[in-house]
Amino acid sequence: MENVTFMMIKPDAVENGFIGNIIEKITSAGFKFKALKLTHLSKKNAEEFYKVHKDQSFYDDLVKFISRSPIVVAVLEKENAVSDFRTLIGSTNPDDAAEGTIRRLYGKSKGENAIHGSDSEENAQLETSFHFSGFDIY
Ligand code: CMP
């Protein structure tokens, strides 16, 4: 469903106390929260969540980072949610992200970049199912 996306506030942003600021940016941009929770991924679940990247050189660091402390995961609704949310968060590398985007404001590096947003409707659905069992908006 193109009006729904999945997002995750990553450990660096949670550790630095940015949950409130980031949620404010998201609601101000017109997204509605359909599901929301604070959680902490085990190493095993982190490996599973990021399995599409398992052949990448940064995979081990990515798994270690995402499982090191709590994260916030949510399902968001808005017209064109997937692409509008990617615009709101900005480029993967915060140094390349546009002014005012969440990664530009709160990200530190390509790895520790504050937030994740699904890159397709299909992945939004897969990532939502991973974190919210029984979620039935689709
Ligand atoms: P995200 O798109 O949320 O999910 C995959 C993550 O891999 C991506 O964010 C980055 O944080 C991370 N990533 C991508 N490229 C690199 C890289 N070259 N070095 C470290 N991490 C990376």
Within-domain flag for 138? no
- Residues of the domain holding 37: 4-119
* pLDDT, tens digit, 9 for 90 and up, residues 9-43: 999 999 999 999 999 999 999 999 999 999 999 99
* pLDDT, tens digit, 9 for 90 and up, residues 89-134: 999 999 999 999 999 999 999 999 999 999 999 999 999 999 998 7
* pLDDT, tens digit, 9 for 90 and up, residues 60-86: 999 999 999 999 999 999 999 999 999
Tokens of 2: 């193109």
Within-domain flag for 79? yes
Question: What amino acid occupies position 105?
Answer: L
Our count of domains for the chain comes to: 1
Q: Is 78 in the pocket of ligand 1 (CB under 6 A)?
A: no
Distance 97 CA to ligand 1 centre (A): 14
Sequence-ordered strand ranges (E) for the chain: 4-9, 32-39, 71-77, 115-117
Contact 29, 88 (CB under 8 A): yes
Within-domain flag for 114? yes
Query: How many Å apart are CA 11 and CA 125, to the nearest integer?
Result: 22
We report the CATH number of the domain holding residue 64 as: 3.30.70.141
Full-model pTM: 0.95
